[in-house]
Amino acid sequence: MEKYKEIERSIIKKFRSSIWHNFVKCVNEYGLISENDKIAVCISGGKDSFLLAKCLEELQKHGKVGFDLEYIIMNPGYTEEVLDKIKCNLEVLNIKAHIFDSPIFKVVSQEKNPCYLCARMRRGYLYSYAQRLGCNKIALGHHFNDVIETILMNLIYNGMYSGMMPKIKSDNFEDMELIRPLYFVKEENILAWACYNNLSFIDCACSVTEKKLGKRKEMKKLIKTLKEYYGDADRNIFNSLSNVKLDKVLRYFEDDIKHDFLDKY
């Protein structure tokens, strides 16, 4: 059996409960995919986006809803070594992708907060390229751990409670939507999948922040510490997105309109 077929088989067999089940559950629970969708799968070169690509491919083959896929890779300024690694994994996983360039690393290199600007710019370039391909959705590889890290980052650094949603309508690209089908999948299971199949992927590969710890890595360390005190800490942080009691908060915003608890006191 060819290696890519073994990798595909592992997703629906070996990792059926930890990856495939959670992937399908998210797609169904949040209505991420509709009949005749054309989805641009955004591959960064890391383990998460490559797994997402294979999961969506499997769903396209065996699911009940008909949809099309395009695989796109934006090069924000990677080194040749990194690009070669990405292309090698495309071949191993039997994925044919569109690769296009952007100047993002060059632009954000002078910024005080390069990660924030990089994320915003990436989104814009991906939406734009996907739209040119006739897609109505882009799919990103954010997973369970990204969700809880985002919650903690917003609490600690911004002083607000705000999470990462499984799907978002674009404000700047008409009729475009972003979906996150790996929303329920834990990073440890993605790592296990990569290890089981002897796959090696790039990490961030950012030339701007490569020597810095980075806020997300700080959050990973914090979550690890919290779990040492209470094993379900990560799950409860995630579940808090579905258990907000508005009558127990001082103030909240909806569509940029401020609501205060005194309004109904």
For residue range 34-68, what is the model confidence (pLDDT) as tens digits? 999 999 999 999 999 999 999 999 999 999 999 99
Task: Compute the average pLDDT of residues 85-106.
Answer: 94
Map residue 259 onto helix, strand or coil: strand
CA–CA dist 174, 136 (Å, integer)? 9
Alpha carbon separation from 91 to 2, 17, 94, 123 (Å, rounded): 12, 27, 5, 25
Tokens (6 digits) for 265: 């006191």
For residue range 136-156, what is the model confidence (pLDDT) as tens digits? 999 999 999 999 999 999 999
CATH topology of domain 3-245: Rossmann fold (3.40.50)
pLDDT reading at 111 higher than 70: no
For the chain, the domains span 3-245
C-beta neighbour count of 75 within 10 angstroms: 16
Stronger pLDDT, 216 or 125, i.e. the higher one:
125
- Do residues 31 and 199 touch, judged by C-beta distance below 8 A? no
